[in-house]
Amino acid sequence: MELQVYNTLTRKKEIFKPINPPHVGMYVCGPTVYGDAHLGHARPGITFDIVFRYLKFLGYKVRYVRNITDVGHLENDADEGEDKIAKKARLEQVEPMEIAQFYTKRYLDAMDLLNVLRPSIQPSASGHIIEQIDIVKKILDAGYAYVSGGNVYFDVLKYHNDTHKYGILSNRVIEDMLQTTRELDGQKEKHNPADFALWKKAEPEHIMRWPSPWSDGFPGWHLECTAMSAKYLGDKFDIHGGGLDLLFPHHESEIAQSVCAFGHEPTNYWIHNNMITIAGQKMGKSLGNFITLEELFNGTHKLLEKAYSPMTIRFFILQAHYRSTLDFSNEALTAAEKGLKRLLEAQRNINNITPSNNAAELDIKALINNCKEAMDDDFNTPIVISNLFEAASIINKIIDGKEKINSEGLEDLKALFNNYLVDILGIKDEQTSNMMPTIEGLVKMILDVRQEARMNKDWAKSDQLRDKLAEIGVKIKDSKDGVSWSLD
């Protein structure tokens, strides 16, 4: 089966065919770095990490570009000329670039903890002002933009009349939009309310500014992605991704910009992840109902009953398909945590299995095949996980002596977990830290003492040791073959 991806542009699943195999170019809209990353940021980070990982697994050579938006864009719809990063900088009395650097680092740290692979290139908007100005010039030359009071605006109506393309991605009818667009402040310079800025003149108090042929100012909201994707992936590349909330106007406008600047649409496949909701409502910075990743990892948010590890968050997100909304709750997160633990314990137990020669065949290959088909079907990670649970159940039965496996089956089992759980889903065993050798030694020592007590039928002492260990998070399991333990 070939990889099929759901293309937002055509609204159906399509067989993935790269322009220039084995190379694949993928551009994903990254964060605006004026605040800590929250649970919502984890979704696209992980979604496109999966795409990245799976394409590589399939043998493609992927160049993955994810931008850092450090030109903060406007704070609100009134053209006050102050952007988010500049505002934060003013409030904290630091350089805007300090704000951007600070939150960029924190964003990347959080993504690292989530085991999100670093993209091939992470360009920043502020580092590509020249390229953005160049795109503005191209669009002006093509006749689809106009200068007005030091600003440059994209002429949406002219573009639409000539190409009939404004709205192809978001399925919007421009005539409707023109009627419903509200009266906004500072719109005088625009020919039409639907027009969007390519270049904005900076007000005197606006501290983030660059020189341009039109004014000292800053680039428009949608320009950086057009400029940077074209620079690093070419003006026609394979995949463009981002959150569903960016569909309109951001991605729609990117298409318009590319068509005018380069004569064609920027990408073949548009992939959008859905939102994470909290109590059924979108979690978002502007809604103030978000939980930062740090709070999640520490358990410090008032909505959290406890801390959740980065892998729990990752697993939680992967248990839903990326195009579905995913509702946050303590119950759901706890369920994910327990399920993940079970899966990881099964994975560890693979190493304790001794294959039997005369074992009947267990059809591990079917599970591997299921996983492959699930990933090929628009990255259906929940199905992959359900198959891994099937495998976990088989492993447990073998460990329990209720099932046997031959060496080929065992190898398949190892491959299944290594390929799908570790490499593709990117789940790592957080227990395997560098402290482990020490802890292992200590626990073994204590268990030896306990074993002695048990030999003497000193149950009180045995239980006391078990309870004390449990208190510090070491769980003991007694079985016929001996004692095993795990960290809680």
Residues 17-46 that bind RNA (CB under 7 A): 29-32, 40-41, 43-44
* Residue 133 interacts with RNA (CB under 7 A): yes or no: no
The residue (of 20 and 464) whose beta carbon lies closer to RNA is: 464
* Residue 192 interacts with RNA (CB under 7 A): yes or no: no
Instruction: Determine the Cα–Cα distance for residues 99 and 108; give it in Å rounded to an integer.
Output: 14
Instruction: Determine the Cα–Cα distance for residues 333 and 337; give it in Å rounded to an integer.
Output: 6
Instruction: Determine the Cα–Cα distance for residues 142 and 159; give it in Å rounded to an integer.
Output: 10
Q: Which stretch binds RNA (CB under 7 A): 16-24, 126-134, 271-279, 440-448?
A: 271-279
The residue (of 336 and 350) whose beta carbon lies closer to RNA is: 336
Please pick, from the candidates 15, 17, 22, 76, the single residue that binds RNA as defined by CB under 7 A: 76
What does the per-residue mask of binding to RNA show for 409-428, with x meaning CB under 7 A? Answer: --------------------
Name all contacts of 369-372 with Cβ < 8 Å and 24+ positions apart. Answer: 371/416, 371/419, 371/420, 372/1
The residue (of 236 and 450) whose beta carbon lies closer to RNA is: 450
* Residue 183 interacts with RNA (CB under 7 A): yes or no: no
* DSSP string of 286-305, one letter each residue: GGT---BHHHHHHT-STT-S
Classified as helix, coil or strand, 202 is coil
* Residue 119 interacts with RNA (CB under 7 A): yes or no: no
User: Rg for the chain (alpha carbons), in Å?
Assistant: 27
Q: Which of residues 219-248 bind RNA (CB under 7 A)?
A: 221, 242-248
Q: Which amino acid is at 26?
A: M
> Residue with structure tokens 């964003």?
107
Helices (H) and strands (E) in the chain, counts: 16, 15
Please pick, from the candidates 161, 325, 407, 433, the single residue that binds RNA as defined by CB under 7 A: 325
* Residue 182 interacts with RNA (CB under 7 A): yes or no: yes
Please pick, from the candidates 227, 260, 336, 371, the single residue that binds RNA as defined by CB under 7 A: 336
- Are 474 and 480 in contact by the 8 Å Cβ rule? The answer is no
* Residue 123 interacts with RNA (CB under 7 A): yes or no: no
Please pick, from the candidates 69, 126, 229, 347, the single residue that binds RNA as defined by CB under 7 A: 69
CA distances 148 to 115, 154, 200, 223, 268, Å, are 46, 11, 10, 18, 33
- Least Å distance between CB 23 and RNA? 25
Please pick, from the candidates 383, 439, 446, 487, the single residue that binds RNA as defined by CB under 7 A: 383
The residue (of 20 and 459) whose beta carbon lies closer to RNA is: 459
Q: Which stretch binds RNA (CB under 7 A): 50-58, 144-152, 203-211, 460-468?
A: 460-468
Q: Are strands 267-273 and 276-278 parallel, antiparallel or unpaired?
A: unpaired
Q: Which of residues 142-181 bind RNA (CB under 7 A)?
A: 170-173, 176-177, 180-181
CB atoms within 10 A of CB 20: 12
Q: Are strands 276-278 and 281-282 parallel, antiparallel or unpaired?
A: antiparallel
Please pick, from the candidates 80, 192, 389, 430, the single residue that binds RNA as defined by CB under 7 A: 389
Q: Which of residues 291-310 bind RNA (CB under 7 A)?
A: none
* Residue 12 interacts with RNA (CB under 7 A): yes or no: no
